[in-house]
Amino acid sequence: MPYTPNNLTKTAIFASLLVLAASATAQDGTIYPLEAPAEPKAILLGTGGVDDQPAPETWFRQWGDPMARNISTATLTPFLPEPGKANGAAVIVAPGGGFRWLSMGNEGWEVAEALAKEGIAAFVLKYRLHPTPVSLEDFKAWMNRPFPVPAASSDTSKVATPPRPPQLDLSNQLEDAEAAYAMIIKRAEEWSVDTKRIGMIGFSAGAGLTMHATLNSKTMKLAFIGPIYGGMGPVEVPENAPPMFNVIATDDFLFHGQFGVIESWHKAGRPVEFHLYQNGGHGFGLGNPNRTSNRWFDAFIHWLRVNSFLPAKP
């Protein structure tokens, strides 16, 4: 029977995504303008544009990483293994950025290159985003805008929570993910992909999109998923949900001591592996210096191999 999320499930999903988006914009970091890089291998997905988009796609650099915003044309960029080294597995890689920008280097290209070295065909999804201010200066001010601090309560049994921002519509992003999956299926022979071993991993908001696609798509049949430092709230797990590899650090602002999504998968009887690292913060990609979270990628490859998504080592 097809899975249809109820209102409670949708609320839980969007609550995690919205906290993620709001928190991501509050982080500090110097922003520099960046000329749009050439993307000769990017393939147009043909999913349309974005309503009320105020400006063309622009790029900036923050924390040394290239990032894109105001994306209104979705693309898919293949990172294929060297000839003769493909093992048939494929992964859609969804970068994060609060659905307002994409961390294309740290959470996209670098991850895809690492996957390709393991014989996995990787595909970076540059999905459509919600609009941000046109000028870079206005964008900087918007990024660093103050957030309301919840008022203290005299009742110590109650925990004050900040107001929720309006719900984000993820229909464009889901359509882009579905188009990416369909393209990989269509060109599977050309790209040496086993259509039964296509998975998806995402970072931050990209983890939210990965989970959103898993819970809501009627066309994607993902073999496995890897939400990396995404929202941890509980969800209603669809029947035959894919095995999940989940990563977050205790000092990540999205953690909050929650294990809801892990418990949801476990209670549904679906395979799940969870790595809670002592440190790593948020947005660490493949890793930051001297953090325990730096070995997650090795663990992910091992998990794929043990679960027969990759060939066993001789």
Q: Which of 55-69, 100-114, 165-179 has the lowest mean pLDDT?
A: 165-179
Residue 123, pLDDT > 60, answer yes
In CATH, what class is 7-143+165-306? Answer: alpha beta
Out of 133-142, 178-187, 204-213, 301-310, pick the least confident: 133-142
Distance CA 86, CA 211 (A): 27
Name the residue among 143, 160, 142 with its Cα closest to residue 151.
160
What would you report as the CA-atom Rg of the chain, rounded to the nearest whole angstrom?
Answer: 19
The pLDDT value recorded for residue 166 is 54
Position 143 scores a pLDDT of 81
Q: What pLDDT is stored for residue 20 in this prediction? A: 43
CA 312 – CA 304 distance, rounded (Å): 10
pLDDT at 268: 98
**With the CA atoms of 164, 279, 62 and 228 taken in that order, what torsion angle do they form, in degrees rounded to the nearest 10?**
-60
Mean pLDDT (the chain, rounded)? 87
Hey, what amino acid is at 162? P
The yes-or-no verdict on residue 181 having pLDDT over 80 is yes
Amino acid (one-letter) located at 218: K
Tens-place pLDDT, residues 262-271: 999 999 999 9
Residue entry with tokens 């989940």: 246
CB atoms within 10 A of CB 219: 12
Is the pLDDT reported for residue 151 higher than 90? no
Name, in order, each residue with C-beta under 8 angstroms of 132's C-beta and a sequence gap of 6 or more. Answer: 69, 70, 100, 101, 139, 142
pLDDT of 10 strictly over 60 = no
Could you tell me the two tokens for 97?
């950025």
Residue 160 has φ and ψ, to the nearest 5°, of -70, 140
Q: What is the residue extent of each domain of the chain? A: 7-143+165-306
- Provide the 8-state DSSP code for 129: -
Three-state SS for 273?
A: strand
User: Quick one: tokens of 112?
Assistant: 């895809």
Quickly tell me which residue has 């063309």 as its tokens. 56
So what's the pLDDT on residue 28?
Answer: 44
Q: How far apart are CA 22 and CA 146, in angstroms?
A: 11
Tokens of 203: 């970072």
Q: What is the pLDDT of residues 189-213, one digit of tens each?
A: 999 999 999 999 999 999 999 999 9
Q: So what's the pLDDT on residue 158?
A: 41
Q: Is the pLDDT of residue 273 over 50?
A: yes
Phi, psi torsion values for 230, nearest 5 degrees: -110, -175
Query: 53 pLDDT band (50/70/90 cuts)?
Result: confident
* Single-letter residue type at 153: S
What are the φ/ψ torsions at residue 103 (nearest 5 degrees)?
-85, 85
Q: Is the pLDDT assigned to residue 100 strictly greater than 80?
A: yes
pTM higher than 0.75 for the full model?
Answer: yes
